[in-house]
Structure 1
Amino acid sequence: MKLKIFLCWTGVAFLVFSPTLVDAQSPSLNDIVTKVQDQYDTNSDFKADFVQESLVKSLGKKQVSEGEVFFKKPGKMRWNYQKPFKQEIVSDGKTLWSYRPEEKQVVVSPMSQAAQGKVPSTFLAGLGNLKMDFQIRWAQEPSPQEPYFLELTPNEFQGSLEKLFLLIDRENYRILRAKIQDLMGNTTQISFSKTQFNNRLPDSLFTFTPPKGVEVFQMPGAAPPGKPGK
Protein backbone atom coordinates (compact mmCIF):
# COMPACT_ATOMS: atom_id res chain seq x y z
CA MET A 1 0.00 0.00 0.00
CA LYS A 2 2.81 2.41 0.96
CA LEU A 3 4.68 1.60 -2.24
CA LYS A 4 1.57 2.22 -4.37
CA ILE A 5 0.99 5.60 -2.68
CA PHE A 6 4.65 6.45 -3.18
CA LEU A 7 4.56 5.55 -6.87
CA CYS A 8 1.40 7.53 -7.43
CA TRP A 9 3.06 10.83 -6.77
CA THR A 10 6.70 10.05 -7.22
CA GLY A 11 6.61 10.62 -10.99
CA VAL A 12 5.27 14.13 -10.36
CA ALA A 13 8.50 15.00 -8.65
CA PHE A 14 10.12 15.37 -12.07
CA LEU A 15 8.14 18.57 -12.42
CA VAL A 16 10.35 20.37 -9.92
CA PHE A 17 12.98 20.68 -12.68
CA SER A 18 13.26 24.40 -13.28
CA PRO A 19 15.76 27.23 -13.69
CA THR A 20 15.04 30.65 -12.21
CA LEU A 21 12.58 32.71 -14.23
CA VAL A 22 10.73 35.79 -13.04
CA ASP A 23 7.70 37.42 -14.61
CA ALA A 24 7.16 41.13 -14.15
CA GLN A 25 3.42 40.72 -14.58
CA SER A 26 1.04 38.31 -12.90
CA PRO A 27 0.66 35.40 -15.32
CA SER A 28 -2.61 33.64 -16.08
CA LEU A 29 -3.32 30.10 -14.92
CA ASN A 30 -2.54 28.85 -18.43
CA ASP A 31 0.78 30.73 -18.42
CA ILE A 32 1.77 29.26 -15.06
CA VAL A 33 1.06 25.70 -16.18
CA THR A 34 3.01 26.30 -19.39
CA LYS A 35 6.02 27.63 -17.48
CA VAL A 36 6.02 24.71 -15.06
CA GLN A 37 5.85 22.27 -17.97
CA ASP A 38 8.55 24.13 -19.90
CA GLN A 39 10.96 24.12 -16.97
CA TYR A 40 10.31 20.44 -16.32
CA ASP A 41 11.11 19.70 -19.97
CA THR A 42 14.45 21.56 -19.97
CA ASN A 43 16.35 19.91 -17.10
CA SER A 44 18.14 16.58 -16.98
CA ASP A 45 18.21 15.79 -13.26
CA PHE A 46 17.68 17.11 -9.75
CA LYS A 47 18.27 16.28 -6.12
CA ALA A 48 16.53 17.58 -3.02
CA ASP A 49 15.72 16.94 0.60
CA PHE A 50 12.11 15.96 1.18
CA VAL A 51 9.52 15.59 3.91
CA GLN A 52 6.67 13.18 3.19
CA GLU A 53 3.42 13.27 5.14
CA SER A 54 1.01 10.36 4.66
CA LEU A 55 -2.48 10.34 6.18
CA VAL A 56 -4.84 7.34 6.28
CA LYS A 57 -8.23 9.00 6.66
CA SER A 58 -10.18 6.02 8.02
CA LEU A 59 -7.66 5.50 10.83
CA GLY A 60 -6.80 9.14 11.39
CA LYS A 61 -3.19 7.99 11.31
CA LYS A 62 -0.39 10.24 10.06
CA GLN A 63 3.19 9.27 9.30
CA VAL A 64 6.00 11.70 8.57
CA SER A 65 9.10 10.54 6.68
CA GLU A 66 12.26 12.42 5.74
CA GLY A 67 15.13 11.83 3.37
CA GLU A 68 16.82 12.76 0.11
CA VAL A 69 15.63 12.19 -3.45
CA PHE A 70 17.46 12.01 -6.78
CA PHE A 71 15.88 11.99 -10.23
CA LYS A 72 17.39 11.69 -13.69
CA LYS A 73 15.68 11.47 -17.05
CA PRO A 74 14.40 9.22 -18.40
CA GLY A 75 12.68 7.58 -15.44
CA LYS A 76 15.62 7.05 -13.09
CA MET A 77 15.10 7.74 -9.39
CA ARG A 78 16.44 7.09 -5.92
CA TRP A 79 14.61 7.84 -2.66
CA ASN A 80 16.78 7.52 0.45
CA TYR A 81 14.49 7.54 3.49
CA GLN A 82 16.25 8.35 6.77
CA LYS A 83 13.34 8.84 9.20
CA PRO A 84 11.39 7.26 10.88
CA PHE A 85 13.28 4.25 9.48
CA LYS A 86 15.79 3.73 6.70
CA GLN A 87 14.51 2.64 3.31
CA GLU A 88 15.79 2.82 -0.27
CA ILE A 89 13.55 2.90 -3.34
CA VAL A 90 15.60 2.80 -6.52
CA SER A 91 14.80 2.55 -10.23
CA ASP A 92 16.91 2.57 -13.37
CA GLY A 93 13.74 3.37 -15.32
CA LYS A 94 12.85 -0.27 -15.96
CA THR A 95 13.39 -2.15 -12.69
CA LEU A 96 12.29 -1.00 -9.23
CA TRP A 97 14.04 -2.06 -6.01
CA SER A 98 12.43 -1.42 -2.61
CA TYR A 99 14.82 -2.17 0.26
CA ARG A 100 14.43 -1.92 4.04
CA PRO A 101 17.73 -2.68 5.78
CA GLU A 102 16.18 -3.49 9.17
CA GLU A 103 13.97 -6.15 7.58
CA LYS A 104 16.81 -7.48 5.40
CA GLN A 105 14.43 -7.73 2.47
CA VAL A 106 14.29 -6.24 -1.01
CA VAL A 107 11.35 -6.42 -3.42
CA VAL A 108 12.30 -6.32 -7.11
CA SER A 109 9.59 -5.51 -9.66
CA PRO A 110 9.29 -4.22 -13.23
CA MET A 111 8.75 -0.47 -13.25
CA SER A 112 6.06 -0.94 -15.89
CA GLN A 113 4.01 -2.98 -13.43
CA ALA A 114 4.90 -1.14 -10.24
CA ALA A 115 4.06 2.27 -11.68
CA GLN A 116 0.63 1.43 -12.99
CA GLY A 117 -1.41 4.38 -14.21
CA LYS A 118 -0.70 7.16 -16.64
CA VAL A 119 0.55 9.72 -14.12
CA PRO A 120 3.70 7.91 -12.94
CA SER A 121 4.47 6.19 -16.22
CA THR A 122 4.39 9.32 -18.35
CA PHE A 123 6.09 11.71 -15.98
CA LEU A 124 8.81 9.25 -15.03
CA ALA A 125 9.45 8.73 -18.74
CA GLY A 126 9.61 12.46 -19.36
CA LEU A 127 6.51 12.38 -21.55
CA GLY A 128 3.88 13.89 -19.26
CA ASN A 129 1.81 16.88 -20.28
CA LEU A 130 -0.12 18.67 -17.55
CA LYS A 131 -2.61 20.31 -19.88
CA MET A 132 -3.37 17.06 -21.69
CA ASP A 133 -3.51 14.81 -18.62
CA PHE A 134 -5.42 17.05 -16.20
CA GLN A 135 -8.20 19.55 -15.76
CA ILE A 136 -6.51 22.39 -13.88
CA ARG A 137 -7.92 25.19 -11.76
CA TRP A 138 -6.94 27.38 -8.85
CA ALA A 139 -7.08 25.53 -5.53
CA GLN A 140 -6.87 28.99 -4.00
CA GLU A 141 -7.15 32.36 -5.70
CA PRO A 142 -3.65 33.83 -6.14
CA SER A 143 -2.55 36.69 -3.92
CA PRO A 144 0.60 38.86 -4.08
CA GLN A 145 3.76 37.31 -2.64
CA GLU A 146 2.09 33.93 -2.03
CA PRO A 147 2.93 30.71 -3.94
CA TYR A 148 0.47 29.60 -6.61
CA PHE A 149 -1.78 26.76 -5.46
CA LEU A 150 -3.25 24.54 -8.19
CA GLU A 151 -5.76 21.69 -8.17
CA LEU A 152 -5.42 19.04 -10.89
CA THR A 153 -8.05 16.42 -11.69
CA PRO A 154 -7.04 13.61 -14.08
CA ASN A 155 -8.85 13.49 -17.41
CA GLU A 156 -8.71 9.69 -17.40
CA PHE A 157 -8.93 7.06 -14.67
CA GLN A 158 -5.59 6.91 -12.85
CA GLY A 159 -6.00 4.04 -10.41
CA SER A 160 -6.78 5.40 -6.96
CA LEU A 161 -5.79 8.99 -7.82
CA GLU A 162 -8.59 11.50 -7.33
CA LYS A 163 -6.78 14.84 -7.24
CA LEU A 164 -3.30 16.30 -7.33
CA PHE A 165 -2.43 19.59 -5.65
CA LEU A 166 0.69 21.60 -6.53
CA LEU A 167 2.19 24.53 -4.63
CA ILE A 168 4.35 26.52 -7.05
CA ASP A 169 6.95 29.19 -6.36
CA ARG A 170 5.69 32.34 -8.06
CA GLU A 171 9.20 33.56 -8.95
CA ASN A 172 10.84 30.51 -10.50
CA TYR A 173 7.90 28.12 -11.11
CA ARG A 174 9.45 25.33 -9.09
CA ILE A 175 7.09 22.94 -7.36
CA LEU A 176 7.47 23.46 -3.64
CA ARG A 177 4.96 20.83 -2.62
CA ALA A 178 2.92 18.07 -4.27
CA LYS A 179 -0.07 16.42 -2.63
CA ILE A 180 -1.98 13.36 -3.83
CA GLN A 181 -5.53 12.63 -2.69
CA ASP A 182 -6.99 9.20 -3.44
CA LEU A 183 -10.58 8.04 -3.81
CA MET A 184 -10.72 7.05 -0.13
CA GLY A 185 -9.66 10.49 1.05
CA ASN A 186 -6.14 9.38 2.00
CA THR A 187 -3.41 11.90 1.24
CA THR A 188 0.32 11.82 0.63
CA GLN A 189 2.19 15.10 0.56
CA ILE A 190 5.80 15.75 -0.38
CA SER A 191 7.66 19.00 0.34
CA PHE A 192 11.01 19.77 -1.29
CA SER A 193 13.94 21.83 0.05
CA LYS A 194 17.60 22.40 -0.85
CA THR A 195 16.76 21.58 -4.46
CA GLN A 196 19.60 21.50 -7.00
CA PHE A 197 19.27 20.94 -10.75
CA ASN A 198 21.48 19.50 -13.49
CA ASN A 199 23.98 17.81 -11.19
CA ARG A 200 25.30 15.31 -13.76
CA LEU A 201 24.14 12.46 -11.57
CA PRO A 202 25.83 9.17 -12.57
CA ASP A 203 23.69 6.28 -13.81
CA SER A 204 25.32 4.10 -11.15
CA LEU A 205 23.30 5.99 -8.53
CA PHE A 206 20.15 4.44 -9.96
CA THR A 207 21.06 0.77 -9.72
CA PHE A 208 20.87 -1.51 -6.70
CA THR A 209 22.74 -4.65 -5.70
CA PRO A 210 21.24 -6.47 -2.69
CA PRO A 211 23.72 -6.74 0.21
CA LYS A 212 24.85 -10.20 1.26
CA GLY A 213 22.32 -11.96 3.46
CA VAL A 214 19.33 -9.96 2.19
CA GLU A 215 16.24 -11.91 1.14
CA VAL A 216 15.12 -11.04 -2.40
CA PHE A 217 11.48 -11.16 -3.47
CA GLN A 218 11.46 -10.98 -7.25
CA MET A 219 8.17 -10.20 -8.95
CA PRO A 220 7.39 -11.69 -12.41
CA GLY A 221 9.12 -9.83 -15.22
CA ALA A 222 11.77 -8.20 -13.03
CA ALA A 223 15.44 -8.24 -13.97
CA PRO A 224 17.69 -10.56 -11.91
CA PRO A 225 19.00 -8.98 -8.68
CA GLY A 226 21.86 -6.58 -9.22
CA LYS A 227 21.24 -6.29 -12.97
CA PRO A 228 19.64 -3.33 -14.77
CA GLY A 229 16.29 -3.83 -16.45
CA LYS A 230 16.33 -4.71 -20.10
Structure 2
Amino acid sequence: MHIPRIFLLLLLLFVSSASIASVRQQLENFLHGLTTLKADFSQELIDTETDQVSHSQGVFYLSRPERFRWVYKGEYPRYIIADGKTIWLVEEDIQQVSQRSQKAALKGTPASLFASALDLDRDFDIKDMGQRMGLGWLKLIPKKEGSQFEQILLAFEGDKLARMEMADRFGQVTRFDFFNLQRNPPLDDGLFRFVPPPGYDILDQ
Protein backbone atom coordinates (compact mmCIF):
# COMPACT_ATOMS: atom_id res chain seq x y z
CA MET A 1 0.00 0.00 0.00
CA HIS A 2 1.37 3.43 -0.96
CA ILE A 3 1.69 5.80 1.99
CA PRO A 4 1.52 9.51 1.08
CA ARG A 5 4.78 11.38 1.67
CA ILE A 6 3.06 14.05 3.75
CA PHE A 7 1.83 11.34 6.13
CA LEU A 8 5.38 10.07 6.58
CA LEU A 9 6.61 13.58 7.30
CA LEU A 10 3.87 14.15 9.87
CA LEU A 11 4.61 10.79 11.47
CA LEU A 12 8.32 11.66 11.69
CA LEU A 13 7.50 15.02 13.25
CA PHE A 14 5.22 13.37 15.79
CA VAL A 15 7.80 10.76 16.78
CA SER A 16 10.51 13.43 17.08
CA SER A 17 8.29 15.65 19.26
CA ALA A 18 7.35 12.69 21.44
CA SER A 19 11.04 11.90 21.94
CA ILE A 20 11.80 15.48 22.97
CA ALA A 21 8.95 15.52 25.43
CA SER A 22 9.96 12.13 26.80
CA VAL A 23 13.63 12.92 27.47
CA ARG A 24 12.81 16.41 28.77
CA GLN A 25 10.22 14.80 31.01
CA GLN A 26 12.89 12.45 32.39
CA LEU A 27 14.91 15.48 33.47
CA GLU A 28 11.90 17.20 35.00
CA ASN A 29 10.83 14.00 36.77
CA PHE A 30 14.34 13.65 38.19
CA LEU A 31 14.31 17.20 39.56
CA HIS A 32 10.68 17.23 40.75
CA GLY A 33 10.46 16.76 44.50
CA LEU A 34 14.23 16.30 44.80
CA THR A 35 15.50 17.50 48.18
CA THR A 36 18.59 15.37 48.81
CA LEU A 37 20.68 12.97 46.77
CA LYS A 38 23.60 10.64 47.34
CA ALA A 39 25.47 8.83 44.58
CA ASP A 40 28.79 7.17 43.85
CA PHE A 41 30.55 8.47 40.75
CA SER A 42 33.46 7.81 38.45
CA GLN A 43 35.01 10.71 36.56
CA GLU A 44 37.09 11.00 33.41
CA LEU A 45 38.83 14.25 32.53
CA ILE A 46 39.81 14.31 28.84
CA ASP A 47 42.09 16.91 27.29
CA THR A 48 41.02 16.97 23.66
CA GLU A 49 44.23 18.68 22.55
CA THR A 50 46.67 16.21 24.10
CA ASP A 51 44.35 13.17 24.41
CA GLN A 52 45.42 12.82 28.03
CA VAL A 53 42.83 11.17 30.27
CA SER A 54 42.73 11.21 34.07
CA HIS A 55 40.42 9.09 36.21
CA SER A 56 38.97 9.59 39.67
CA GLN A 57 36.04 8.42 41.74
CA GLY A 58 34.14 9.34 44.83
CA VAL A 59 30.79 10.20 46.38
CA PHE A 60 28.41 13.06 45.63
CA TYR A 61 25.97 14.54 48.18
CA LEU A 62 23.28 17.10 47.40
CA SER A 63 20.94 19.04 49.67
CA ARG A 64 18.64 21.44 47.88
CA PRO A 65 18.66 24.33 47.75
CA GLU A 66 22.22 25.41 47.10
CA ARG A 67 24.30 22.86 49.01
CA PHE A 68 26.42 19.97 47.80
CA ARG A 69 29.61 18.03 48.51
CA TRP A 70 31.90 16.14 46.10
CA VAL A 71 34.31 13.75 47.83
CA TYR A 72 37.21 12.53 45.68
CA LYS A 73 38.93 9.38 46.90
CA GLY A 74 42.37 8.07 46.04
CA GLU A 75 46.03 8.89 46.57
CA TYR A 76 45.32 12.63 46.77
CA PRO A 77 41.88 12.93 48.41
CA ARG A 78 40.10 16.24 48.12
CA TYR A 79 36.58 17.52 48.42
CA ILE A 80 34.43 20.39 47.25
CA ILE A 81 31.78 21.89 49.51
CA ALA A 82 29.08 24.40 48.59
CA ASP A 83 27.45 25.75 51.74
CA GLY A 84 25.02 28.14 50.06
CA LYS A 85 27.34 31.15 49.98
CA THR A 86 30.86 29.88 49.38
CA ILE A 87 32.47 27.05 47.43
CA TRP A 88 35.41 25.46 49.20
CA LEU A 89 38.00 23.28 47.46
CA VAL A 90 39.86 21.40 50.17
CA GLU A 91 43.16 19.64 49.46
CA GLU A 92 44.12 17.90 52.68
CA ASP A 93 47.43 16.47 51.46
CA ILE A 94 48.91 19.95 51.01
CA GLN A 95 46.74 21.63 53.67
CA GLN A 96 45.29 24.13 51.23
CA VAL A 97 41.80 25.57 50.79
CA SER A 98 40.52 27.62 47.85
CA GLN A 99 37.35 29.64 48.30
CA ARG A 100 35.07 31.41 45.83
CA SER A 101 31.67 33.07 45.81
CA GLN A 102 29.13 30.36 45.08
CA LYS A 103 26.73 32.57 43.15
CA ALA A 104 29.40 33.70 40.71
CA ALA A 105 30.99 30.28 40.31
CA LEU A 106 27.88 28.21 39.61
CA LYS A 107 25.81 30.32 37.24
CA GLY A 108 25.18 28.40 34.01
CA THR A 109 26.80 25.20 35.31
CA PRO A 110 25.40 21.69 35.93
CA ALA A 111 25.79 22.29 39.66
CA SER A 112 23.34 25.19 39.50
CA LEU A 113 20.93 22.99 37.58
CA PHE A 114 20.77 20.35 40.30
CA ALA A 115 21.29 22.50 43.37
CA SER A 116 18.57 25.06 42.65
CA ALA A 117 15.09 25.29 41.22
CA LEU A 118 15.82 26.95 37.87
CA ASP A 119 13.84 28.03 34.87
CA LEU A 120 15.57 25.63 32.48
CA ASP A 121 14.58 27.46 29.31
CA ARG A 122 15.78 30.78 30.72
CA ASP A 123 19.27 29.52 31.46
CA PHE A 124 19.81 26.87 28.78
CA ASP A 125 18.99 26.03 25.18
CA ILE A 126 17.79 22.43 25.46
CA LYS A 127 18.11 20.03 22.55
CA ASP A 128 16.97 16.42 22.35
CA MET A 129 19.69 13.93 21.41
CA GLY A 130 17.43 10.89 21.27
CA GLN A 131 18.12 7.45 22.65
CA ARG A 132 21.63 6.00 22.65
CA MET A 133 23.04 3.07 24.60
CA GLY A 134 19.67 2.60 26.26
CA LEU A 135 19.74 6.12 27.69
CA GLY A 136 17.78 9.27 26.90
CA TRP A 137 20.10 12.21 26.15
CA LEU A 138 19.68 15.97 26.37
CA LYS A 139 22.12 18.67 25.31
CA LEU A 140 22.11 21.87 27.37
CA ILE A 141 23.85 24.94 25.99
CA PRO A 142 24.26 27.76 28.54
CA LYS A 143 22.72 31.03 27.39
CA LYS A 144 24.98 33.18 29.55
CA GLU A 145 27.79 34.74 27.54
CA GLY A 146 31.16 33.89 28.95
CA SER A 147 30.02 30.62 30.56
CA GLN A 148 32.95 28.29 31.13
CA PHE A 149 31.00 25.46 29.50
CA GLU A 150 30.16 25.19 25.81
CA GLN A 151 27.69 22.37 26.29
CA ILE A 152 26.44 19.86 28.84
CA LEU A 153 25.07 16.40 28.01
CA LEU A 154 22.77 14.63 30.43
CA ALA A 155 21.83 10.96 30.11
CA PHE A 156 18.89 9.37 31.91
CA GLU A 157 17.91 5.79 32.54
CA GLY A 158 14.22 6.13 33.31
CA ASP A 159 14.00 8.96 35.83
CA LYS A 160 17.54 8.41 37.14
CA LEU A 161 20.55 10.45 36.10
CA ALA A 162 23.12 8.01 34.67
CA ARG A 163 25.78 10.22 33.05
CA MET A 164 26.82 13.83 32.69
CA GLU A 165 29.36 15.16 30.17
CA MET A 166 30.65 18.73 30.16
CA ALA A 167 32.73 20.35 27.42
CA ASP A 168 34.44 23.55 28.52
CA ARG A 169 36.02 26.37 26.55
CA PHE A 170 39.53 25.14 27.32
CA GLY A 171 39.33 21.93 25.29
CA GLN A 172 38.52 19.66 28.21
CA VAL A 173 35.66 17.17 28.51
CA THR A 174 34.61 15.93 31.94
CA ARG A 175 32.48 12.81 32.09
CA PHE A 176 30.67 11.56 35.19
CA ASP A 177 28.99 8.17 35.52
CA PHE A 178 26.67 7.84 38.51
CA PHE A 179 25.93 4.65 40.46
CA ASN A 180 23.91 3.62 43.51
CA LEU A 181 21.73 6.73 43.45
CA GLN A 182 19.73 7.30 46.62
CA ARG A 183 16.92 9.81 46.22
CA ASN A 184 15.99 11.97 49.23
CA PRO A 185 18.03 10.10 51.85
CA PRO A 186 18.59 11.71 55.27
CA LEU A 187 21.90 13.60 55.21
CA ASP A 188 23.85 15.17 58.05
CA ASP A 189 23.99 18.98 57.79
CA GLY A 190 27.65 18.76 58.75
CA LEU A 191 28.43 17.47 55.25
CA PHE A 192 27.72 20.96 53.92
CA ARG A 193 29.59 23.05 56.49
CA PHE A 194 33.27 23.85 56.44
CA VAL A 195 35.63 25.78 58.70
CA PRO A 196 39.27 25.89 57.56
CA PRO A 197 41.45 24.01 60.05
CA PRO A 198 44.32 25.85 61.73
CA GLY A 199 47.47 25.92 59.64
CA TYR A 200 45.75 25.61 56.25
CA ASP A 201 46.63 28.06 53.48
CA ILE A 202 43.48 29.85 52.27
CA LEU A 203 43.36 31.13 48.69
CA ASP A 204 40.71 33.44 47.24
CA GLN A 205 39.70 32.79 43.62
2:47 is matched by which residue type in structure 1? V
Contact 1:65 1:84 in 2 (8 A): no
- Secondary structure in 2 matching 1:159: coil
**Residue 88 of structure 1 pairs with residue 79 of structure 2:** yes
Contact 1:46 1:72 in 2 (8 A): yes
Find the partner of 1:29 among 20, 28, 31.
20
From the superposition, tell whether residues 73 and 158 of structure 1 become closer, same or farther in structure 2 (CA, over 3 Å): farther
Deviations 1:68-119 (A, max 9, x none): 110001111111100352001111111111111111111122212333x333
Contact 1:64 1:84 in 2 (8 A): no
Deviates more, 1:188-197 or 1:205-214: 205-214
From the superposition, tell whether residues 63 and 210 of structure 1 become closer, same or farther in structure 2 (CA, over 3 Å): same
**Residue 178 of structure 1 pairs with residue 164 of structure 2:** yes
From the superposition, tell whether residues 43 and 80 of structure 1 become closer, same or farther in structure 2 (CA, over 3 Å): same
Structure 2 residues without counterparts, runs of 5 or longer: 1-17
Offset of residue 60 of structure 1: 2.0
- Indicate the residue corresponding to 1:134 in structure 2: 124
- Indicate the residue corresponding to 2:12 in structure 1: none
Higher strand share: 2
Structure 1 residues without counterparts, runs of 5 or longer: 1-26, 221-230
Alignment identity in percent? 26
Offset of residue 184 of structure 1: 4.1
2:136 is matched by which residue type in structure 1? Y
1:146 is matched by which residue type in structure 2? G
From the superposition, tell whether residues 78 and 122 of structure 1 become closer, same or farther in structure 2 (CA, over 3 Å): closer
Matches within 5 A, 1:12-161: 28-115=19-106, 117-119=107-109, 122-123=112-113, 125-139=115-129, 141-142=130-131, 146-157=134-145, 159-161=147-149
- Indicate the residue corresponding to 1:192 in structure 2: 178
Aligned partners of 1:121, 1:191: CA distance in 2, in Å?
Answer: 15
- Secondary structure in 2 matching 1:137: strand
TM-score by length of 2: 0.80
- Secondary structure in 2 matching 1:118: coil
Offset of residue 132 of structure 1: 3.8
1:112 is matched by which residue type in structure 2? K
Aligned partners of 2:111, 2:145: CA distance in 1, in Å?
Answer: 14
The number of aligned residues is 189
Aligned partners of 1:28, 1:46: CA distance in 2, in Å?
Answer: 27
1:213 is matched by which residue type in structure 2? G
Aligned partners of 2:199, 2:144: CA distance in 1, in Å?
Answer: 43
